[in-house]
Structure 1
Amino acid sequence: MKIEQIYTGCLAQGAYYIVSEGEAAIVDPLRETQPYIDRLEKDGVKLKYIFETHFHADFVSGHIDLSKKTNAPIVYGPTAKPEFDAIIADDNQIFELGKIKIKVLHTPGHTMESSSFLLINENGEEKALFSGDTLFLGDVGRPDLAQKAENMTQEELAGLLYESLYQKILPLSDEIIVYPAHGAGSACGKNMQKETVDTLGNQKKTNYALNQKDKNSFIKAVTDGLLPPPAYFGMNVAMNKKGYKSFDEVLSKGLNALSPKEFEEIAELSGALMLDVRNSDVFAKGFVPQSINIGLNGDFAPWVGALIVDVNHPILLIADDNQEEETLTRLSRIGFDNVLGFMKGGFEAWKKSHKEIDKVHRISAQQFEHEIKNKNAQIIDVRKEREYLAEHVNDAYNKPLAYINEWIADLNSEEYFYLHCAGGYRSMMAASILQARGYRNFAEIEGGFAAIAKTEVSKSNFVCPTKVFPYIG
């Protein structure tokens, strides 16, 4: 028997590859299926089942494409109603895989169809739990996603989650290995640990949600401090439930190389968003006017989902050479399939065509320190609230990047301001959005708060983030 976690850092997502006696199963596969096909062929095994723990909200699963290519059935837990062929398992139903068994545990709460899969080895021993979004390391699945259960409040869903965890998972052996669907950085939880695998026994000791005195305290603990879910989540649920274009088709369409002239014409005719995925330091020095920067070198996919929102919005890509396919793959993982093409030769081709170029006014932390002494200007900190409350520049306003579409209208286009995040990745996104919408009255601070902290700029006293948000690591 072999269990392999296939972890994707950009999405903080874990898929699982299980093999026994020439038969394989995959739990919660990513959108691109070729790596799984290659692995199956290399190992000389046949894919027997594709297990889906629930209808995912934060990414588009590869279950449908993988099933078509391998003829392996898709398996969901009780109450799931997909609009394609699938096995809807009963609670406690057993699936045999080589010499091992996989038992379905219906664990509603995060979603109504949410299920965990318990692996039983050839000796009849319960060895591993693929817990989906029901149980994370350090946290449990958020119960507030309204699209998951009509006519139910988040408190009612949290109550179901309590029963699932305390009646079905906590009674299991401490030695069982927990393999969750997500880790630190995912928006599906609020207190994820950095580890991606743990024993159930250790989670019983360290997971706040598994140490509540009663159901009411559990409901309060898991619903307290939840941030609004990203707006694209509902669209991903719909794609996972109803179906989607094949990844191969999406990739073929997106790999449409365009000259700068063709790129510009299509942008004007289609209203496509021009997405520049280069490093923020490079973007600041020159970019196509009106383009938005979300760098591949960070949490690319979640930020695309949070800022662009509509998975159907047409997109044109500006990337470094040989990064186009990687960009398309990462976009498709969250359902952004409507890429019309990319600029052949990237931004350098645009420059060589002598077309207009824009820049971001970026200054060093030292220059900011000098200027702020003699200038009465706003300071906007686009970090998350918990980062801001831990330590910030005195008199700075906290305007988290995730909500820029809400707070941008409140800015005075005549009043000068300074913009920063933690290190420059997020503030460059904000700067590109601001300039695309006509704001030029600001300076973005290179290196963000990390650089500012090394200057004499007046700052608040540091407070440990866990004291501000006790359930957030």
Structure 2
Amino acid sequence: MKIEQIYTGCIAHAAYYIENNGEAAIFDPLREVQPYIDKATKDNAVIKYIFETHFHADFVSGHLDLAKKTGAKIVYGPTAKPNFEAIIAEDNQEFKIGNVTIKAIHTPGHTLESTTYLVTDENGKEHGIITGDTLFIGDVGRPDLAQKIASDLTQEKLAGLLYDSLRTKIMPLSDDLIVYPNHGAGSACGKNMSKETTDTLGNQKKVNYALRADMTKEEFITELLDGLGAPPAYFPQNVMMNIQGYESLDTVLDKGKKALEPKEFETVANEAEALVLDVRHQDAYVKEHVPGSIFIGLDGNFAPWVGALIMDVKQPILLITAEGREEETITRLARVGFDNCLGYLKGGIDAWKAAGFEVDSIKSISPEQFAAEKDQTQLPVVDSRKPGEFSAEHVENAINIPLDFVNSQLSEVPKNDDFYIHCAGGYRSVIMASILKARGYHNMINVEKGIAGIRNAGVPLTKFVCPSTAK
């Protein structure tokens, strides 16, 4: 038996490929399906099944395109009601991949249809469990996503179901089983996932807070919901795409790979009310960019930030990319459901300038310059990192406006005075600066290299101290 984890770091996603005796299965595939087809072809295998652990929220699965191109059957767990042909497995129903057995174990909680797949090898030995978002390494799936689809499914009710699933379906299994989750650290589908992407079930029983043997259901619900932030706005939209269906990625790519001359680019932007998305490196964007464009760099956590900051997956988008990265950008947008890309600027920013159009820029300084002038200028400092990062260390008297909440906290941004803005390493602050510029703020000064550079430049940093513990 061959079992392979296919991990995509930018969205912290793991798909799985299992092959035995000329047959193969794919679990939770990404939108771009050709790599799975290529793997099966290399192994002289036919893809027989596409197993889905649940209706995903953080990405659009490739199940429909993969089924269409290979003839494989799509499998969901009990209670799933997709708007397309699929096998709805019964609890404990078994499937064969060559001489390998896949058992569907219904484990509701993250969602109602969530299902874990127990893999038994060709020798009859139970090898591992593909757990989806039921069980992560160091964490379990958040139980507050399905309520966006069905209002009667409260997060408390789903958390209770997840407790039961873990205790009655997962924890009784053998300790030596390998746990293969759908996500790792960085995913918004949990709150405390490990950087490791596999582990034994036995070790998880020892170290995973949610699997403590003496934990009551009430304790589980309280701990699971504690500190659970609001899910990104695109999550319920992705769920509906996974349930109802979507355009083929081939169609999305054909539409998005339209090269537009600068004048046509401007016309389409105005007529379609398209968002102009610049995905180049932040240093290039700071130097010069199309006025009104939004920066989300392709080389950072691109797809999650697109999903968090562009509220509607149907938003028309026009692209400005580094040369040769157009298709990659369109594909990565489609992974999280943003299928309405109308084309890209042919020749990039150089063609835009050559056509006589204006460019804008963001004032940006080095950490050393910030260190030299901040005490003299006494300008406000906006820190765009997450609250936990801010609490750990920050510039004294800085204002914390996390990038995730820039739209809801605009009133806290200094409107009349110049201000410094920074993040951890220089990526998020430029995203925020681009959003603020598009909303009429032109008084920010970006600090390059973020808090890491500021620290190295010798600027004293402080940390948040809870008043109840302060001496």
- Residue 340 of structure 2: aligned partner: 338
Displacement after TM superposition at 1:149 (Å): 4.3
Work out the CA distance in 1 between the residues paired with 2:433 and 2:228: 27
Displacement after TM superposition at 1:111 (Å): 0.3
- Residue 176 of structure 1: aligned partner: 177
- Residue 6 of structure 1: aligned partner: 6
- Residue 272 of structure 1: aligned partner: 274
Structure 2 matches for 1:284-299, cutoff 5 A? 284-299=286-301
Contact 1:139–1:208 under 8 Å retained in 2 = yes
* One-letter code aligned to 1:151: D
Contact 2:107–2:162 under 8 Å retained in 1 = yes
Work out the CA distance in 2 between the residues paired with 1:5 and 1:458: 44
The counterpart of 2:439, out of the listed 437, 451, 454, is 437
* One-letter code aligned to 1:46: V
Displacement after TM superposition at 1:96 (Å): 1.1
Contact 2:391–2:463 under 8 Å retained in 1 = no
- Residue 67 of structure 1: aligned partner: 67
1:365 is the counterpart of 2:353: no
- Residue 263 of structure 2: aligned partner: 261
Work out the CA distance in 1 between the residues paired with 2:262 and 2:159: 52
Q: Deviations over 1:439-463 (max 9, x none)?
A: 0111010010001112333311489
- Residue 389 of structure 1: aligned partner: 391
Contact 1:111–1:149 under 8 Å retained in 2 = no
Work out the CA distance in 2 between the residues paired with 1:85 and 1:73: 8
Work out the CA distance in 2 between the residues paired with 1:205 and 1:354: 64
Work out the CA distance in 2 between the residues paired with 1:276 and 1:456: 33
Work out the CA distance in 2 between the residues paired with 1:69 and 1:143: 33
Structure 1: stretches of 5+ with no match in the other structure: 469-473
Work out the CA distance in 1 between the residues paired with 2:395 and 2:168: 47
Q: Deviations over 1:359-415 (max 9, x none)?
A: 011111122122221123221111011111111111111111011110124434212
Work out the CA distance in 2 between the residues paired with 1:231 and 1:362: 31
Percent of aligned pairs with the same amino acid: 60
* One-letter code aligned to 2:363: H
Instruction: Please state whether the residue corresponding to 1:221 is helix, strand or coil.
Output: helix
Contact 1:255–1:341 under 8 Å retained in 2 = yes
1:310 is the counterpart of 2:295: no
Structure 2 matches for 1:233-252, cutoff 5 A? 233-252=235-254
Indicate the larger mover: 426-435 or 146-155. Answer: 146-155
Work out the CA distance in 1 between the residues paired with 2:350 and 2:173: 58
Work out the CA distance in 1 between the residues paired with 2:315 and 2:387: 29
The alignment's TM-score, normalised by the length of structure 1, stands at 0.96
The alpha-carbon distance between structure 1 residues 418 and 345, as it changes in their structure 2 partners (threshold 3 A), is: same
* One-letter code aligned to 2:221: I
Displacement after TM superposition at 1:270 (Å): 1.2
The alpha-carbon distance between structure 1 residues 394 and 410, as it changes in their structure 2 partners (threshold 3 A), is: closer
- Residue 424 of structure 1: aligned partner: 426
1:36 is the counterpart of 2:43: no
The alpha-carbon distance between structure 1 residues 23 and 236, as it changes in their structure 2 partners (threshold 3 A), is: same
Structure 2 matches for 1:98-109, cutoff 5 A? 98-109=98-109
- Residue 96 of structure 1: aligned partner: 96
Instruction: Please state whether the residue corresponding to 2:222 is helix, strand or coil.
Output: helix
Displacement after TM superposition at 1:123 (Å): 2.6
1:300 is the counterpart of 2:283: no
Q: Deviations over 1:27-63 (max 9, x none)?
A: 0000011111222222211111000000000000000
State the number of aligned residues: 464
Instruction: Please state whether the residue corresponding to 2:445 is helix, strand or coil.
Output: strand
Structure 2 matches for 1:49-88, cutoff 5 A? 49-88=49-88
* One-letter code aligned to 1:153: T
Work out the CA distance in 1 between the residues paired with 2:464 and 2:401: 19
1:189 is the counterpart of 2:196: no
* One-letter code aligned to 1:155: E
Displacement after TM superposition at 1:215 (Å): 1.1
Q: Deviations over 1:315-362 (max 9, x none)?
A: 000001110000011000001000000011111211222310100111
Indicate the larger mover: 17-26 or 200-209. Answer: 200-209
- Residue 157 of structure 1: aligned partner: 158
* One-letter code aligned to 2:447: I
Contact 1:111–1:148 under 8 Å retained in 2 = no
Q: Which runs of 4+ in 1 moved over 6 A?
A: none
Work out the CA distance in 1 between the residues paired with 2:149 and 2:109: 9
The alignment's TM-score, normalised by the length of structure 2, stands at 0.96
* One-letter code aligned to 2:203: N
Work out the CA distance in 2 between the residues paired with 1:34 and 1:234: 26
* One-letter code aligned to 1:140: V
Indicate the larger mover: 349-358 or 388-397. Answer: 349-358
Work out the CA distance in 1 between the residues paired with 2:459 and 2:128: 51
Work out the CA distance in 2 between the residues paired with 1:186 and 1:263: 34
Work out the CA distance in 2 between the residues paired with 1:409 and 1:239: 34
Contact 2:148–2:236 under 8 Å retained in 1 = yes
Displacement after TM superposition at 1:309 (Å): 1.8
Instruction: Please state whether the residue corresponding to 1:453 is helix, strand or coil.
Output: helix
Contact 1:112–1:148 under 8 Å retained in 2 = no
Work out the CA distance in 1 between the residues paired with 2:420 and 2:144: 35
Q: Deviations over 1:94-118 (max 9, x none)?
A: 1111101000010000000000100
Displacement after TM superposition at 1:148 (Å): 4.8
Structure 2: stretches of 5+ with no match in the other structure: 467-471
Contact 1:423–1:449 under 8 Å retained in 2 = yes
- Residue 112 of structure 2: aligned partner: 112
Q: Deviations over 1:147-202 (max 9, x none)?
A: 25431221111111011011111111111011100000000011111111111111
Quote the RMSD (CA, aligned, Å): 1.3
Work out the CA distance in 2 between the residues paired with 1:305 and 1:169: 32
* One-letter code aligned to 1:176: L
- Residue 413 of structure 1: aligned partner: 415
Indicate the larger mover: 211-220 or 389-398. Answer: 211-220
- Residue 227 of structure 2: aligned partner: 225
Instruction: Please state whether the residue corresponding to 2:164 is helix, strand or coil.
Output: helix
The counterpart of 2:351, out of the listed 349, 355, 361, is 349
Work out the CA distance in 2 between the residues paired with 1:210 and 1:457: 43
Contact 2:20–2:98 under 8 Å retained in 1 = yes
Indicate the larger mover: 440-449 or 140-149. Answer: 140-149
* One-letter code aligned to 1:345: G
Work out the CA distance in 1 between the residues paired with 2:15 and 2:110: 18
Work out the CA distance in 1 between the residues paired with 2:150 and 2:136: 21
Contact 2:390–2:463 under 8 Å retained in 1 = no
Indicate the larger mover: 375-384 or 57-66. Answer: 375-384
